[in-house]
Amino acid sequence: MAGPIRVVVHPPSPTGGRRVRVDGEILGLAHNIGDLVEFLRRAGLELDAVEVAAASWIDWRGVGPDRWGPEASS
């Protein structure tokens, strides 16, 4: 890998869930931190939910790791 991995978790969608991108590639729509942990595992990053929630290198757009539903975007 040329540099540090870039993870972006977008704001909650109106129907729920948050789009996840790793190095510009969309990995999917996460509905909770467990989904995000699984997406990151598939991308080669072995972290648990606590590590993911505290990671300063994850760009949490709109709201933090504790909000996943559409109520968070209003």
Whether residue 40 is contained in a domain is answered as: yes
DSSP string computed for 2-51: -S---EEEEEEPTTS-EEEEETTEEEEEESSHHHHHHHHHHTT----HHH
Q: How many domains does the chain have?
A: 1
Encode pLDDT of 9-61 as tens digits.
Answer: 999 999 999 999 999 999 999 999 999 999 999 999 999 999 999 999 999 99
Predicted local confidence at residue 4, as pLDDT: 73
Whether residue 2 is contained in a domain is answered as: no
Whether residue 35 is contained in a domain is answered as: yes
Whether residue 22 is contained in a domain is answered as: yes
Whether residue 73 is contained in a domain is answered as: no
Q: What pTM, to 2 d.p., does this model score?
A: 0.87
Q: Which domain holds residue 41?
A: 12-64
